[in-house]
Amino acid sequence: MNIDDMLCVGVTDGFLLSNTIGRNGQRVSGDVLKSIIRGYRNFAEKMTSLGVNIRLCGGETADVGDLVKSIMVDSTVYARFPRDHMIDCNTIQPEQAIVGLASFGKATYEDHENSGIASNGFTVARHALLHSSYAEKHPETFSETLTLDQVYRGPYHLSDALPNSNFTVAEALLSPTRSYAPIIKEILEKHRKNISGIIHCTGGALTKCLHFGENIHYIKNNLFEKPAVFQAIQESAHISDRDMWKIFNCGHRMEIYCDKKIADDIVAISKTFNVDAKIIGETKASVTGKNELTVEQYGVSKQY
């Protein structure tokens, strides 16, 4: 997540990464810590083999049972790069294409198919999908500030098949958050000067774009079909389309704002990594004097 946030300003190499782990030692064993650290190492090695150099700088593990019920893993990433390579999303202009890179599927550099879930909205996803029995078995997995009617109110157990997919519910929820670093690196090497913005659809999901540019009307009217995990979340928790588009990526997690003449080539580059991509919309000049967003799908249109 940190590295992909940095991709949005144009950094694609020379990352220094450190981590801090806080755990409850009564519940989380040393084997869990070893697995997490191994995951860091495997990810760094994989990205480095693809030309995205990540150097692990160590970290710190603390037993803080009074503060943490289970485990919390935080990362800090640092990099230096030429100032004139910086991409500033505030330069997004009207009459540009919006290219979305899919959050689902299996990239050439991934080991397994991805459900598309990523990290943002994960608390909502767990409580929307999982059965109330998990509240009784694992009270350490939710905040005591929540009332019981807010906790694990879904129909599914972890081993259940997720409808309309090849995943179990556990597999869908545990799909890793995809990194687009190798794809963005190749795109920027070829088209940096024709790209005005890259937005990582994390907090705010499809509405995150509203924080960037000036007097821009963002129109997203050619979205990917919602992956099965998002369909299940929406149906289980009766979440409106308006809220789904504010909480979850719903099929694409990276948006590239570019000159229309290069949009098709960006799509083609992404597909060489077996990550689906398409032009999901465009930008227009806003007539309201402020940024606005229109999202359209399945005959539903919402304004933000």
The full set of domain ranges for the chain reads 1-86, 87-304
pLDDT of 303? 98
As a whole-number percent, the residues of the chain with pLDDT over 90 amount to 97
Instruction: Please provide the DSSP assignment of 165-181 as one string.
Output: SS-BHHHHHT------H
Measured between alpha carbons, how far is residue 236 from residues 125, 163, 232 in Å? 10, 12, 6
For domain 1-86, the CATH class is alpha beta
pLDDT value at 288 more than 90: yes
Give the single-character DSSP code of 154: S
Upper half-sphere CA count for residue 106 (Cβ side, 13 Å): 5
pLDDT of residue 172: 98
Which tokens in the block code for residue 253? 């997690």
Looking at residue 266, its pLDDT comes to: 99
Angstrom CA distances, 48 to 8, 15, 179, 188, stand at 19, 10, 13, 17
Residue 94's contacts (CB-CB under 8 Å, 6 or more residues apart) are 216, 217, 283, 284, 285
Strands 195-200, 252-258: parallel, antiparallel or unpaired by DSSP? antiparallel
Measured CA to CA, the distance from residue 6 to residue 76 in angstroms comes to 11
CA distance 17 to 108: 24
Q: Is residue 98 within 8 Å of 208, Cβ to Cβ?
A: no
**Taken in order 59, 62, 67, 73, is the CA torsion positive or negative?**
positive
pLDDT at residue 1 greater than cutoff 90: no
Q: Which of 98, 123, 136 is nearest to 277 (CA)?
A: 98
With a threshold of 0.85, does the pTM exceed it?
yes
2-30 confidence digits (pLDDT tens): 999 999 999 999 999 999 999 999 999 99
Q: Largest alpha-carbon pair distance within the chain?
A: 58
pLDDT tens sequence across 115-153: 999 999 999 999 999 999 999 999 999 999 998 889 999
Q: In whole angstroms, give the CA distance from residue 204 to residue 247.
A: 6
Q: What is the pLDDT of residues 98-113, one digit of tens each?
A: 999 999 999 999 999 9
Tell me: the pLDDT tens digits for 213-253? Answer: 999 999 999 999 999 999 999 999 999 999 999 999 999 99
pLDDT value at residue 103: 98
Average pLDDT, the chain: 97
CATH second-level architecture of 87-304? Alpha-Beta Complex (3.90)
pLDDT the model gives residue 76: 96
